[in-house]
Structure 1
Amino acid sequence: MSDWIEKHWPGADGPGLSRRARMGGPYRAFLPDPLITRRINIPAALSRKASHVEQQILSLSNRGSLHTTGTGLEGISRFLLRSEAISSSRIEGIAPQPDKVAIAELRLEPGAPSASVAQLVANNVAILQQLSEKVRRTETIGLAEIIEAQELLLRNPRISGIRETQNWIGGSDYSPIEAEFVPPPPEVVPGLMDDLIEYLNGATHGALIQAALVHAQFETIHPFADGNGRVGRALIHVVLQRRGLVDYPVLPVSMVLGTWSDRYIHGLTRFRAPDSGSAGLSEWLDVFISAAEEAATQATRISREIDELRAEWRERVDAHRKSQGMDLTPVW
């Protein structure tokens, strides 16, 4: 059963450190339940809601506008993928202009260090593409692919790979004693990641519920020194694509979670609360499923607006060609 583990922080020593930085003392790290063996009871109403939203997401690929335009689904998916990468990065406080991200994508070189915030977001685009391609080829994702995604995202060998030290969220930069949340100790992270990957590659629950649990568990484990949020949100798309709801990372769920920051954080906090039981889990699932529903609505709106813009451009071109006595443009 999930619980808090009592630990002791030894403190630090050295010249120039403040008293607060030197301070040692007790803290609590969280040990979550494994997903494979966790007993999960999902209320019927929530299950029905998840099924309804899954149908909405499926309709994104089935809508005529996504298939009949000149650039087809590939064109809109590229736009939505970049939007998702930018939104996911903004949640972490990284917010360059979209045009700078596009330029950084063109300049992206394998193995090159990330020299700008635009490059960091371009790296985020790259990991979504990389994981999407992996799912198309094999339909499974292993630990190696998740680590590769983090390495591609950060391009910093010093903080790449599964962490071997304790990390924490909030509080002091020097110790976890005053942290808002302390993830599991490093010695249990490999086992928890093995469990997460086994669950990710299965089909115990519906696609949306599985994506919600994978994301929340990954953020709870916090397996990396940096990049957890962006990689964790990329795994949402891995699950949705693997389970056949989408063909590409087209659902702008990070755009919604970024605007619902309080609900997003509250939902994850409830998921992690040992005393909340099934109620806390249901709260998180409801937040995530509602965000996916809103993301499907926004993706539909964006697609419709792009179709309308293309139609307007065609009308303008045809009007100009007609005024010049030229043949009308072919159908795009």
Structure 2
Amino acid sequence: MIEIDVAPGQGTNEPLRLLASLEQASHHVLADSIVRIARHGNLLLSQPCDVREHRGEGLEGQVDGISVVAGSRPLVLGSGPLPNWAESGESRYRDTQVLRVFLAIDGRLAAVFTFGDAIREDAPGTVEALRSAGVTRIVMLTGDDGAAAEKVSASLDLDAVFADATPADKVGTVEAEKAAAPTMMVGDGINDAPALAAATVGIAMGARGGTASSEAADVVVLTDRLEPVAEALRIARRTRGIALQSIVVGLGLSGAAMIAAAMGHITPVAGALLQEGIDVAVIVNALRALGDGRLEHDRNGRRS
């Protein structure tokens, strides 16, 4: 958070406490940050009730019997003018890439919160890990404007950036990418749900609980970190490799045994026992998928 503008005679703690209390019921990715800021300031949060979320605009509800509305200026103020105390902040941030959250308490604007865009701390490492895993094309799909998207993506090794994307635009982009190669989509918002369902593999960041994106995805990451995405790809590829290895080796050994039996080199009883041995060997090899595989990966890396 960059700054809090509050109404005259109003402190910053109570508006922040009410906002964070209300945001506990939100699925927006910013909600976690707001709650963490309030708790870091040792503010005692309350459980909101009668919460109504307006998609892409904000939410409203009751906190300790107080009517609270938080979100965009149109949601909170409608077509009404800004009070004098809020005009300076609006002018100061008019041409900057920030997110402004307006807060009304009992129908009156009480505070305006200004948040700056920032990438997840583990995003650069995750992109690098995906590149190392063989992912050849990584793009960013966002509903933010182009300037904000370019600012966030400047420190990431991306192949393309698609900004101002609506849910339909995201689906169209995913379909176009999928036509060229199998496509994995990672998203954390309600607007990402259609694109997650359209992708070859959809991965939802589900730390905030069971949202529409989690229901539409094939994989749900239950932590607020991106690193598990690269880890999931590594596990999936290793598991697929072990499965293919078991199939090829099992069929090869069984075929060789059948040819030997047809030529009279193996008796029926010996052939049955040999087949059982081949089955057991294939099953044991498949059980390797239960392991982490890191030691094996490290050994292969040292050999290469």
**TM tier, smaller:** under 0.3
Larger RCO (CA within 8 A; separation ≥ 6): 1
More strand by share: 2
Give the TM-score normalised by the residue count of structure 2: 0.21
Kindly name which structure, 1 or 2, has the bigger radius of gyration based on alpha carbons.
2
Normalising by structure 1, report the TM-score.
0.20
